[in-house]
Amino acid sequence: MSKKIFSGVQPTGNLHLGNYLGAIKNFVDLNNDSENDCIFCVVDLHAITVKQDPKELRSNIQETVATFIASGIDPKKSIIFNQSKVPAHAEGAWILSCVARMGWLNRMTQFKEKAGKDKEKASVGLYSYPVLMAADILLYDATHVPVGDDQKQHLELCRDIAQKFNTDFEIENFLQVPEPLIQKEFSRIMSLKDGSKKMSKSELSDLSRINLTDDKDLIINKIKKAKTDPLPMPNTPKELDERLEAKNLLGIYSSLTNSTLEKSVENFAGKNFSEFKQKLSEVLVDKIEPISTEIKKLLDDKSYLDNTLLEGVERANIIASKKIKRIKEIVGF
C-alpha cells in the first residue's frame, strides 16, 4: 500500500549536518521509494513565529529548496513548495485552532523550550504553531509523517485534532489520522563542541557544526578540532553513555555509512581518535562536498529555483484547495 508522506523544513538558512541527518537524508530515501507520494514543504509561515529579516527570509527559502534538490530530492517526483503561497494552510490553521483545546497546547514542551523564561513576550504564533503544523499535514491526507523525537508531541496533537474534528462534525475518517515515521537512531545530531547540545546554526562558533555549504578543507578542519576526550575509542557502546562527544561523532559516522552504532564501535575499538577522525572526515567529504557544490550551482540559477517552487505550489494548491473547500462546507461556511 502506498504512503502519502508530508514533512516540512523551516527556511532558517545555512542548513547543516544536523538538518541533513535528522531529516533531509530520510526525505531522499522516502522520495526514492516508488511506493511513496511525497510532499516536502518549506514552512515559511512557521519561520515568522520569530522575527525575520524579509530579504534574508526570501533568500533562505531559495537556499532550502536548493538543499533539497542538491541532496537528491526529485522535484518532478515529489512536490516541493513554500507554505505561504498556498492560502489553505492559514485558513486551515484558523479553523483547526477552533477545534484544538487550550489544555492540549499548554502541554507542548517545545513552546516552553523556545520561549524560554520570557514567554510573556513570545509571539502568539510561536504558541499556536503546532495547530498550523496540523493543518499542513491534514490538508494533504498524509498517512505518514517523518518525525524526530522533538516533534512526536506535535504529531500527537495533530492526531487529536483530526479525531476531534471527525467526531464533532460526525464525519468518520474525513481528516486522515497520520502515523509517525520515527527515525530511531541518530535523528539528533549534537554540537561538535558540546555533546550535550543539539547542533544549531544559532551557536556562535562555526566550528560547532558542519554546514551543508562547507568545502573539503573546512570539513576536515572542523572534524580535526571537534571536541573529544583523552581516552582511546570505546570498546563497547555502553561506554558511550558517559562520553557524549565520542557518541555523537560515532553516530554521525554510523548514519553516513548506513551502519549501526555497535558495528562502528567494533570497527574502531581501542584506536586513537586521530585515526577515527581521519576516517570520519573522508566519509563526510565524500557525502557533503558534492551536495555543497550542487547547492552553490543551484543558487546561481535563481530562475530555476523560482520555477521549481511555482510548479510545486500549483500542484500543492490543487490538493489543498479541494480539502479546505470541503472543510469549510462541513463547518458551515
Q: Over the chain, what is the mean pLDDT?
A: 93
Same domain, 312 and 289: no
Is residue 265, in this structure, part of any structural domain at all?
yes
Is the Cβ–Cβ distance between 64 and 42 less than 8 Å? yes
Write out the three cell numbers for 313.
Answer: 505550489
What's the pLDDT tens digit per position in 45-102? 999 998 999 999 999 999 999 999 999 999 999 999 999 999 999 999 999 999 999 9
Same domain, 22 and 143: yes
Verify whether residue 224 is a known catalytic residue. Answer: no
pLDDT of residue 184: 64
What's the pLDDT tens digit per position in 207-237? 999 999 999 999 999 999 999 999 999 999 9
Same domain, 292 and 327: no
pLDDT of residue 202: 83
Same domain, 103 and 14: yes
Verify whether residue 201 is a known catalytic residue. Answer: yes
Same domain, 53 and 126: yes
Helix intervals (H) in the chain: 17-19, 25-32, 44-47, 54-71, 88-97, 102-106, 109-115, 124-138, 152-168, 216-225, 244-256, 261-268, 273-299, 302-331
Write out the three cell numbers for 192.
Answer: 561538535
The answer for residues whose C-beta is within 8 angstroms of residue 282's C-beta and 6 or more apart is none
What would the mean pLDDT of 166-185 be, rounded to a whole number? 90
Same domain, 135 and 282: no
Write out the three cell numbers for 3.
Answer: 504512503
Q: How confident is the model at residue 164 (pLDDT cuts 50, 70, 90)?
A: very high
Same domain, 222 and 152: no
The position carrying cell 562520553 is 243
Which entry of 3, 114, 164, 225 is annotated as an active-site residue?
114
Which entry of 3, 198, 227, 328 is annotated as an active-site residue?
198
- Total tally of structural domains belonging to the chain: 2
Is residue 198, in this structure, part of any structural domain at all?
no
pLDDT of residue 182: 81
Same domain, 48 and 119: yes
Which entry of 3, 85, 201, 225 is annotated as an active-site residue?
201
Query: For the domain that residue 177 is a member of, what is the CATH number?
Result: 3.40.50.620
Host domain of residue 260: 206-297
Verify whether residue 114 is a known catalytic residue. Answer: yes
What would the mean pLDDT of 262-286 be, rounded to a whole number? 93
